[in-house]
Amino acid sequence: MSTTVTSPDHELQADFDALIEAEQRIEPRDWMPEAYRKTLIRQISQHAHSEIIGMQPEANWITRAPSLKRKAILMAKVQDEAGHGLYLYSAAQTLGIARDTMTEQLIEGRARYSSIFNYPTPTWADMGAIGWLVDGAAICNQVPLCRASYGPYGRAMVRICKEESFHQRQGFEILLELA
């Protein structure tokens, strides 16, 4: 008679795989493979960095916006983007990485962000294009993340996507008015 002995790690992996297969969420206190944790940290921190870096071209336009109404709208958008970065940094922190570490990785060039934010924004129309096109493209990429297998990331993405949808409409309206 042969008995199969399963290791605790094998059982944990099987439980993890079953949760993923059932499209359930993995929560911070759940066991997860180290490769999954590392991939999430990289993805979420890159996303957080992109939100923080992405608000900078727009923040530079707050004092130059064409009206008081536009300044107020742009300030609200910049605040939203900063909040998105903070939600995402918090989600990454639940995986065991410190916010200071993520920031150091960004500053030292060991972490990445979306390169679209390296392009200059010399005109007010660029603010409309960022809102309509860049935020619009981000929505296409980010809506599926609302169903992310990692709970804190998926929940953050639900709120972020709602706000990004509003930013896209603002950008369209800027370009429509300019046209």
User: What is the arithmetic mean of pLDDT over 139-160?
Assistant: 97
pLDDT at residue 9, as a whole number:
85
User: What is the tens place of the pLDDT at every residue in 24-82?
Assistant: 999 999 999 999 999 999 999 999 999 999 999 999 999 999 999 999 999 999 999 99
Q: What is the pTM of this model?
A: 0.90
Residue 107, CB half-sphere, CA atoms under 13 Å: how many? 6
For the stretch 150-153, contacts whose Cβ atoms lie closer than 8 Å and that sit 24 or more positions apart, written own/partner, are: 150/25, 150/26, 150/40, 150/91, 151/25, 151/26, 151/27, 151/28, 152/27, 152/28, 152/90, 152/91, 152/94, 153/40, 153/44, 153/88, 153/91
Q: How many CB atoms lie within 10 A of CB 167?
A: 24
Q: What does the alpha-carbon distance between residue 143 and residue 162 come to, in Å, rounded to a whole number?
A: 9
